[in-house]
Amino acid sequence: MTDSSVALLPDRGLVEVEGDDVVDFLQSLVTNDVERIQPGGSMFAGLLTPQGKIAFDFLIYSPAPNRFWLDCPAEFAGDVARRLSQYRLRSKVAVADRSADLVVGVCAAPAPGALGSFADPRHAGMPRRHILPAAEATGSTQIRAAGLEAYHAARITLCVPEGARDYLYGEAFPHEVCYDLLNGVDFEKGCYVGQEVVSRMHHRGVAKTRIAGVRGSGALPAMGAEISAGEHPVGQLGSSHGELGIALIRLDRADEAVANGVPLRAADVTLTLRRPDWVNYDVPAAEAAS
């Protein structure tokens, strides 16, 4: 297996959760309906705080009955495993960080040697993901870096946000980062941690902050840069690639700024908003993301 066939994502880690009670265990914790995942299937979901904010999120893949691999940011894989272990109590479930021996890659074609392969459940335009044995995922650091950069460039073009890159864990609500539009939440399933807040925001439609794409007049500043209209904050920049980026935007404030002819800026860069093709809300004065 070489990186020329599969672009490795070294910024992703794998947490394994398995056991006789694993379906009920995860079903009581995460935002999506784990009972619908068949072996070989995948799902996007989050683990919330009791206050309804995102503690962690991940792509869930089932390689076999009663076994799930959670594809999550590598820097938080250990934290995800520890948090899930705290909920185990007497459940017949084992939780382990498998990041040292399993890696995540992306490729449109089949990946020889992959232990699992699945479509990204967030957006049809995202590349297919593959789980590979780390020992077989060889290749140069330069090729790995190029593949990772290309992956995030494609993701940013589609405006598909990722935790720890476009929003901070512990600060964002699921609706703000569009779980409802990226197949990350099931509103019909039973109780899970933080469900009441998610349900209330959904039925009241109170999410004023949403995801939008941005195009800068030049290279964009780093994640976390404030987006402002004059002296007034409008949002926060997430990840970027060149002049394109993803942002959390207060849509009402952006609309007011546009109506008054006040440009949006991040540091010394002027911004144009971009409307993702998958959203159902208006993005003020936006160009279509493509």
What is the reported pLDDT for 208?
Answer: 92
What is the reported pLDDT for 144?
Answer: 63
Is 178:211 a contact under the CB 8 Å cutoff? yes
- 2 pLDDT band, cuts 50/70/90, is very low
- 139 pLDDT band, cuts 50/70/90, is low
- Report residue 257: phi and psi, to 5°: -60, -45
Class of the CATH domain delimited by 7-158: alpha beta
What is the reported pLDDT for 138?
Answer: 63
Quick check: 143 pLDDT over 60?
no
What is the reported pLDDT for 290?
Answer: 56
Structure tokens at 9: 């994502």
Quick check: 68 pLDDT over 70?
yes
Which sequence spans correspond to the domains of the chain? 7-158, 208-288
Averaged confidence pLDDT in the chain? 93
Quick check: 157 pLDDT over 80?
yes
Is 102:131 a contact under the CB 8 Å cutoff? yes
* 254-273 burial: b if 16+ Cβ within 10 Å, else e: bbebbeeebebbbeebebeb
What is the reported pLDDT for 272?
Answer: 96
Instruction: Kindly report, residue by residue over 218-266, the tens digit of the pLDDT.
Output: 999 999 999 999 999 999 999 999 999 999 999 999 999 999 999 999 9
Structure tokens at 211: 């995801």
pTM here is 0.93
What is the reported pLDDT for 146?
Answer: 73
Of residues 5 and 109, the one with the higher pLDDT is: 109
Instruction: Kindly report, residue by residue over 230-239, the tens digit of the pLDDT.
Output: 999 999 999 9
Of residues 94 and 5, the one with the higher pLDDT is: 94
Quick check: 288 pLDDT over 80?
no
- 108 pLDDT band, cuts 50/70/90, is confident
Among 187, 224, 157, 207, CA closest to 32? 187
Tell me the fold of 208-288: Elongation Factor Tu (Ef-tu); domain 3 (2.40.30)
Q: CA-to-CA distance for 9 and 132, rounded, in angstroms?
A: 11
Instruction: Kindly report, residue by residue over 182-213, the tens digit of the pLDDT.
Output: 999 999 998 999 999 999 988 887 789 999 99
